[in-house]
Each structure stands twice: as C-alpha cells, then as structure tokens.
Amino acid sequence: MPEFRQNRATKNWVIVATERARRPHDFLVHEEMATLPEFDPKCPFCPGNEDMTPPEIYRIVCDSKWSVRVVPNKFSALVPDAELRREMKFQFFRKVAGYGFHYVIIETPIHNLTIATMSEEQVCDIFKTYLKLYKDLMSNPNINVAIIFRNNGKKAGTSLEHPHSQLIASPIVPTHIRHLLEEATRYYDDHGSCVFCDMISIEEYVMERVVYRDDDFLVIEPFASISPFETWILPRKHNACFGNISEEEACRTAKVVRLVLKQLYDKLNNPDYNYVIHSSPFKDANEEFYHWYIQILPRLTIPAGFELGSGIYITTALPEETAKFLKIN
Amino acid sequence: MPEFRQNRATKNWVIVATERARRPHDFLVHEEMATLPEFDPKCPFCPGNEDMTPPEIYRIVCDSKWSVRVVPNKFSALVPDAELRREMKFQFFRKVAGYGFHYVIIETPIHNLTIATMSEEQVCDIFKTYLKLYKDLMSNPNINVAIIFRNNGKKAGTSLEHPHSQLIASPIVPTHIRHLLEEATRYYDDHGSCVFCDMISIEEYVMERVVYRDDDFLVIEPFASISPFETWILPRKHNACFGNISEEEACRTAKVVRLVLKQLYDKLNNPDYNYVIHSSPFKDANEEFYHWYIQILPRLTIPAGFELGSGIYITTALPEETAKFLKIN
C-alpha cells in the first residue's frame, strides 16, 4: 500500500509509492564514468589558468601552492555593485536590485577529483573555506542569508567539470526559508524543543533509517525522503546557523560529508547529486527552534508535473531500505 | 544588472540573472525529434492493446472508436482501496494511508501525436474528459484536491511515449497549496480583490509579457517566471476551481492550450515540458480569493542546489523577451 508521510521539520508531505517501488540496487547508475584528465589546459579552474577567472577573493595555501581558491562567479546571479533598491511598478510588480555575492569555491587544483575521491585534508580545506566565507558575510549588514551548495554532474545542473561548489549570499530571505522557520517555530511552541534535535533522538532510538553515527553527527535517510537516497547529515549539537561552528567542527563536518559521499559513489556508481547547507538567516543565528544541517539529494529521478502542481514528491524507494543499503559501519 | 522579482500570487522570489542572460532563440532545442510510428504494437496505450491496461474507467467514443480513454495508472501513486487512516509513530512520524485516485488519460489512439499536433476536436475531447473526471471527484467526500498534469518528454519525467496526461486526487491538501491559498487570502484582505484578476488586468494594461489574448483568456510569461518560457494561461472569468467551468469553457480552454503548445513546438522545436492545472481545493471552490489557471513549464534548464536550498529560481531569460518571441498574433 502506498502511504503519505510528512517530514515534521519541513512539514512537506511525500507519497511513498510502493506500487512502483524499486529496490535500492535498481538505482545503480549504469552510465560509464567519464575518464577525465588530472589537468585540462582549457579549464579555467586548473592551475596556471588563474587569470581566466575573476580576481581571487581568498585562497588556502599548502606547500606554497593553492589548495582551495574562491573567486566571484563569472556569470554572477547577484552582484555586489548593485544598489540596494526596492521598486514597485504599477503598484503590483515588486522588484529589488540583484545585490549580493556569488562565489565559486574551486575545491582542488586537480581536475578529475570529486569529494568522494579527495583526501580528508582536502575536504577539510573546503569546509574551512565555507566557514571563513560564511563568517565574513555575517558581518555584512546588508546580507541576511547565505546558501552554500554543490552541483555534481550534469543532471544536477553543473556545467563545469572541475570540482567546485558555490555560495550565494542575498539580502532577501526567501519565502521558502521563511516557511521553514515558521514551521520550526510552531513546533517549538507546541513541544518546547527543536524539531531537528527531536528528530535526531527519535531516529537514533528507532534506528531504522540511520546510515551513520558518531559522537558529533547522525546521518539518516529522512522518514519522508523526497526522492530515493535523499540523505541528511545532522549535527548533534544544537545550533541554528552554520556560521556559528568552530573551525574544528567544520573539519569534522567535512569528514562526515566525505564519508557519506564516498559511500554513495561506491554503492551507486557516482550518481549526480546536489548538496546544500541549510542554515538559519543571520538574524536567527542563535534561535532555539532552528538547526543547521546538510541535505544531499542524488538526482536519480525527475520531479514532474505532479510535484510542480502539489509540492508533494512521489518517491519510489523506501528510506528504511536505502538506509540499510547505504549503511556505513 | 540582475534583479530579484516577486510573483505576487505565489509570493516566490526569482533572480533574473542578466549577467548570464541568453536570448530567446538560444533556448531552441537541437536534439532531433524522434520519428515515432503512428501505431506501436507493443504500446499498452495503442488501440488493440486495451487489455494491457487496468480496466477502463471512462472513454469518449467517436465514429464507434475510442477517441480518449481513462484508466487507473498501472503503478498508482495512490489507490482507492486503502483505508483512510492516520497514524503517528513514536509521537513524531506522521503517516496517512495512500488513499486516492491516480488516472491516466490516454489522449488519442494515435501513438505519435502530441497536443501541438492534434486537431482542435481531439484536444477538446481531452479537456472534456479532464472536466468530467474532476466533477466526479468533487462529489467524493474523501477527496479534497485533484491535480491534472502532463509530462511531455524525458526531461519532463515521462516514461511512455504515447500521448497521455494524468490526474492524481488526494484526501490531503498539500502544504504547498495551503501556502498559496494563504498568500492569496492575504492579498484579498489587503486589496479586496483576487490577485489573479488583478494580474490579468495589469498585465493587459502593460502589455509587455502578453503572448496571446482573446475574449476568454490572457496568456503571459509571468513577471517572475521561474524558468525560461514559463507560461501561464489565465481565464478572465473569476473562478477558483477548474471543476466549476462548463463543457463549453473546457473546449475553449483546450483551444488556447493547443495554440500555445503549438507555438512552443514551432518556435523552440518541440521542447520537453510539464503543464499543470492549478485549482483550489474542493472546499474552496467558490472563494473570491483564488483563481484556477494553467502553468506550462518547458524543461530547458535544470534547477540545482541553490533552488533546493532557497526555493528561489535563477532564470536566464527575460520574460519580456520570451513573450515577444512567442507572441501569437
């Protein structure tokens, strides 16, 4: 029997479509992995081509070479030289100048790696960079929210092969995030606790959807996963905002992210995926009701008209089964 | 300069990314159109193979042959024989049995057509079928919402080539739709008018994003289009619910939908797309604040990590330009 399930944190319903259910191994990617060179002379992110990117904002150096570089996106979605200006046309159409920041984090000098195949130290450098950028943006009074994300593979919307992630910082708090905060506040009102903290303790008690756990993190396939192998990395320590963590905590996060992505890489044959660091807007950084976490979404299925019309995702895998399949011992 | 724009009806923000803007003709699909046969002996939706589908629910007959057939989806996301049962596990995980209906509307006996290449009469039959199913479901006290949608092409999530659309009817009103109703109610509170009715009159006054208009419909590229060539077909007559319209109005809707899809087909070389009929839940069918409409979303770009994290879509085309490009005289 199919069932509706609700994610208590996002309040989104999904349909677990058992009638069309597929087993975890049915999601194995059968495309051959592209064999890329370690260095591509035409790639703007490869060493030696530093002048092909906009001027560098930050770098981490190791053995007198760069390990991670941050540059503005050449085709920025938001730009720092826009005026902060709201406008209402015909008393109906609301627009705001596209002020903000759009960074590319070039994750390694080596063209053909991905997080799953990088060293722990390298991924640590990436997450330390995320944190540094995030903290800097928090001191900008015109910026209210920052989203860090990674698009891995064509189905996940990437256009450049060289390993990179992105950060977009915006003055506007998206409606979507406001809804999430409202739902979390309501849960806090009703229960006096953070919905994410409760999710961690209940998922760990039940142990049906746990992929990995250690002293700092619980990794689960959410009860109401929106698509097969959706994975959440939840830090145990309550904290609304990613920018509040320490450098050491960033490194510990990096290790778990690498471990989980390596498992996905090995078990599903390098699936395309997005990950995103969900975090509170800056002004809510110390709230009791919200909790930062990382969502990994392999792109194994295509959301279609029903998702567009209803916001309800139909998933064809049971999170209890994908968790078992993915389990890291 | 990039800009944020807000859709006043959905309240969603988008970023119009002028730095990476592409001209309308850059979105032309270059893949060769598959040449399909008129009849495929293995296709479960082709005439003669009626016993390959679950038992038929409805058909329209023309010249003693069927013109449109409705059957339950073989892999139904929701099923009518589920008990209506809510459950809460560990006082945290909420689930509801997957009660509901999931129909496939087989749109024509001919295997290789699409709405753009069908006759007006054929598309009328499809929309009359939608309406008939919708009205029947409205009399079911356990169903609260019905979504009619069409997935055209692989990028839009279809798996069967034979022209078809789908209907999913659910007891649960999705959170997403509840948010839309709340925003529309708030607009009505503030302005004493339906936000969609206002959008129609203001868009027609401005005439910058109008693709087509006649006595009954206004077709626009929304001011805050979530992706290139998003198109809304708005009926002029205020009506919250698709199920309230007459058979004659359904036929007029069919003609406009066909006209717009034919234009997209001709101008962009048969792009993959989804369309969805947005309508109020049944209990709000006579509300002043909501308005049914059809959203067409060509799948020309891939939403990625930023969209996942923020709910803000980055679009690389100006709706004013795509409207000009698509204009139907």
Give dist(CA B10, CA B165) in Å, integer. 25
- Secondary structure class of B186 (helix, strand, coil): helix
Tokens (6 digits) for B238: 């205020």
**In this predicted structure, what is the pLDDT of residue B241?**
98
Q: Determine whether the interchain pair B3/A168 forms a contact, defined as Cβ–Cβ distance below 8 Å.
A: no
At residue A121, φ and ψ (nearest 5 deg) are -60, -40
**In this predicted structure, what is the pLDDT of residue B129?**
98
The residue ranges of chain B whose pLDDT is under 50 are none
Q: Determine whether the interchain pair B75/A20 forms a contact, defined as Cβ–Cβ distance below 8 Å.
A: yes
- Angle formed at CA A192 by CA A191 and CA A193, multiple of 5 degrees: 90
**In this predicted structure, what is the pLDDT of residue A84?**
85
**All residues at 6 or more sequence positions from A199 whose CB lies less than 8 Å from its CB, including other chains:** A8, A9, A220, A234, B92
For A265-301, the pLDDT digits (tens) are: 999 999 999 999 999 999 999 999 999 999 999 999 9
Q: Is A257 exposed, middle or buried (0-12, 13-18, 19+ CB in 10 A)?
A: buried
So what's the ipTM on this one? Answer: 0.95
Report the amino acid identity of residue B297. L
**In this predicted structure, what is the pLDDT of residue A151?**
98
**In this predicted structure, what is the pLDDT of residue A21?**
78
Smallest Cα–Cα separation from B24: which of B230, B260, B262?
B230
The answer to the question of whether B176 is labelled as a binding residue is no
Report the amino acid identity of residue A120. E
For A3-326, the fitting CATH number among 3.40.50.2000, 3.40.50.1370, 3.30.428.10, 3.30.70.1560 is: 3.30.428.10
Q: How far is A270 from chain B (nearest CA, A)?
A: 17
How many Cβ atoms are within 10 Å of B195's Cβ, its own excluded?
24
Q: Determine whether the interchain pair B77/A20 forms a contact, defined as Cβ–Cβ distance below 8 Å.
A: yes
- Residue B75 β-bridge partners: none
Q: Are B105 and B130 in contact (CB under 8 A)?
A: yes
Which among A12, A77, A155 is the nearest to B2, CB-wise? A77
Catalytic residues of B: 164
Q: How far is B39 from chain A (nearest CA, A)?
A: 26
Catalytic residues of A: 164
Chain B hits for A145, Cβ within 8 Å = 310
Q: Are B211 and B327 in contact (CB under 8 A)?
A: yes
Which among B90, B154, B157 is the nearest to A202, CB-wise? B90
The residue ranges of chain A whose pLDDT is under 70 are none
Q: Give me the DSSP letters along B191-238.
A: HSS-HHHHHHHHHHHH-SSEEEE-SSEEEE--TT-SSTT-EEEEESS-
Q: Determine whether the interchain pair B2/A172 forms a contact, defined as Cβ–Cβ distance below 8 Å.
A: no
- Angle formed at CA B31 by CA B27 and CA B33, multiple of 5 degrees: 115
Residue spans per domain, chain B:
3-326
- Angle formed at CA B114 by CA B120 and CA B134, multiple of 5 degrees: 70
How many Cβ atoms are within 10 Å of B215's Cβ, its own excluded?
6
**In this predicted structure, what is the pLDDT of residue B121?**
97
How many Cβ atoms are within 10 Å of B49's Cβ, its own excluded?
15
**In this predicted structure, what is the pLDDT of residue A19?**
74
